[in-house]
Amino acid sequence: MDEIAAALGDGARWRIVELLAERPRSVGELAELTGLRQPQTTKHLQTLARAGLVTVSPLGQRRVYAVEAGPLAAFEERLRELVGAIEAHAGERDVLTRYQAAIEAETAAANRRQWADGRTFTFERLLPVPPDVAWRHWVDPDLLASWWAPPSMRITECVLEPEAGGRVVLEYRDAEGLYRAEGRVRTAEEPGHLAFVLSVLDAAGAVSFTGHYDLTLTAAPGGTRLRLDLRITDTTVESAPFVAGIETGWGQVLDQLTATLTPGKGTPS
C-alpha cells in the first residue's frame, strides 16, 4: 500500500496511469501525451512497475506498458476501509468541532478575571455496578487512572485520598505538554458522597481556575446513579480554553468510566 500510494502521489505518474487505463501504450506515446521527455517517462514507468501498477511487454523495438487492475483494486479497498473508519468515528470529529466553537465563544467572553466564576455544570450516568465498586474507581489510584483522563492523554500522577483534607492530584501529558491539577478533599463518606476542590494549573504553576466538585453515588435499579455537580471559581482570562473543555472533557471521561465498568468493555474490580 505504501509503494502504491507513493507511486500515485505524483501528478505525472497519475496521468500516465490514466492514459494506460484506456489502453496499453509505448514510452514514446506516453511521453508525447504527457509532455514529458522520454527519459523522464521511462523513470516514472519504472516507479509504477516497482509498485506493481504496470507491466511492460517488449514488442520488437518497442516497449509497451499496460496498467494492472489488481493493485488498484486493493488500493481502492484500503481507501474504502479508511473512509469507513472515518465515518465510524465521525462523533470524535464532531466533538472537536464543538470544542473549537466553545473555545471561540469562551475566549470572546473572557475579558476580565473571575469572568466565569459561579458557573455550574451537572453530569449524570448510570453505572452498571454497585456503589462500593463505583466508589473504588474514584479513590483507588490504579482504578482512577484507568478512566480519569481525556482520550489520547497519558496519566503520570493520579491521587484522590478519601478523607477530609486528603490530596487530589491529576497530572497527564500528551505530545504537546504536561497538564496538572491539585486540590483537597472536603468530604468523603464511603460509598456515597465525595466532595473535593481541584485547581487546574497553568504552565507556570499558577491557578487557571478552581473546580468545586460534589459527587453522589446512589444505588439504583441496574447499578449506581452517579451525579457530579461542578462549580468553578478563580477563573482567569487565560482559562478560557479549559472552561470551554469542561462539558466535553467530563462527558468523555465519565463515558470512559461507564465503559470501564460495563461487562465486556472494561474490567471492574
CA distance 215 to 122: 10
CA distance 145 to 191: 19
The pLDDT value recorded for residue 267 is 46
181-207 average pLDDT score: 96
Tell me the C-alpha to C-alpha distance, in Å, between residue 198 and each of 12, 211, 224: 58, 5, 24
Tell me the C-alpha to C-alpha distance, in Å, between residue 188 and each of 132, 163, 251: 13, 5, 23
The pLDDT value recorded for residue 269 is 43
Give the model confidence (pLDDT) of 75-104 as tens digits: 999 999 999 999 988 887 888 888 899 999
Q: Where are the alpha helices (H) located in 110-205, listed in sequence order?
A: 131-139, 141-145
221-227 average pLDDT score: 97
Contact present, 94 and 231 (Cβ < 8 Å) = no
Residue with cell 487492475: 69
**If DSSP codes are grouped into helix, strand and coil, which group holds residue 57?**
strand
**Count of other CB atoms within 10 angstroms of residue 21:** 11
User: What pLDDT band is residue 166 in, cutting at 50, 70 and 90?
Assistant: very high
182: enclosing H helix or E strand: strand 177-189
Tell me the C-alpha to C-alpha distance, in Å, between residue 158 and each of 154, 172, 183, 244, 247: 11, 8, 12, 23, 21
Provide the whole-model pTM. 0.74
- Do β-strands 177-189 and 223-233 pair in parallel, antiparallel, or remain unpaired? unpaired
Paired strand residues for 220: 223
- Do β-strands 154-160 and 193-201 pair in parallel, antiparallel, or remain unpaired? unpaired
The pLDDT value recorded for residue 265 is 65
Counting every residue written for the chain, the total comes to 269
CA distance 70 to 7: 15
The pLDDT value recorded for residue 266 is 55
At residue 178, what is the residue type?
L
User: What pLDDT band is residue 25 in, cutting at 50, 70 and 90?
Assistant: very high
